[in-house]
Amino acid sequence: MTYAIFKAGGRQVRASEGETIRVDRVAGEAGDEVRFDAVLLVGGSGEPRIGTPTVDGAAVVGEIVRQAKGDKVVVFKFKRRKNYARKRGHRQLHTDVRVTRIEG
């Protein structure tokens, strides 16, 4: 089974063909094709191909399944005896991508 490690949204993601992965928000609608060219490693049968820093000619191609928001994270700041308390929420935007093929 072929797998790849690639950069998406400042993070390194490991994926194989047919797998659905969650990455930071990628522009596009559900059903659009997305391509990640910053492939760091391609492995599977035989020796893995390791890039310096990326593997030449390799890419991870997938289809956007959905655009969504993550769970709410509560940010609460408090300083005792100073009458200071701030409460904010944050929901990270992410994209679910189904990997269709790994090139290279």
Per-residue confidence (pLDDT) for residue 45, from 0 to 100: 81
21-54 pLDDT, tens digit per residue, is: 999 999 999 999 999 999 999 998 889 999 999 9
For residue 10 the two structure tokens come to: 């400042």
Token pair belonging to 80: 């005792």
In the chain, where the domains are located: 3-103
Tokens of 29: 């609608």
Q: Are strands 11-16 and 59-79 parallel, antiparallel or unpaired?
A: unpaired
pLDDT at site 44 = 87
Residue pair 77/85 in contact (Cβ under 8 Å)? The answer is yes
Here the tokens at position 25 are 């928000």
Q: What is the pLDDT of residue 63?
A: 97
pLDDT digits 0-9 by tens, 48-94: 999 999 999 999 999 999 999 999 999 999 999 999 999 999 999 99
Burial of 45 (0-12, 13-18, 19+ CB in 10 A): exposed
Per-residue H/E/C for 26-57: CCCCCCCEEEECCEEEEECCCCCEECCCCCCC
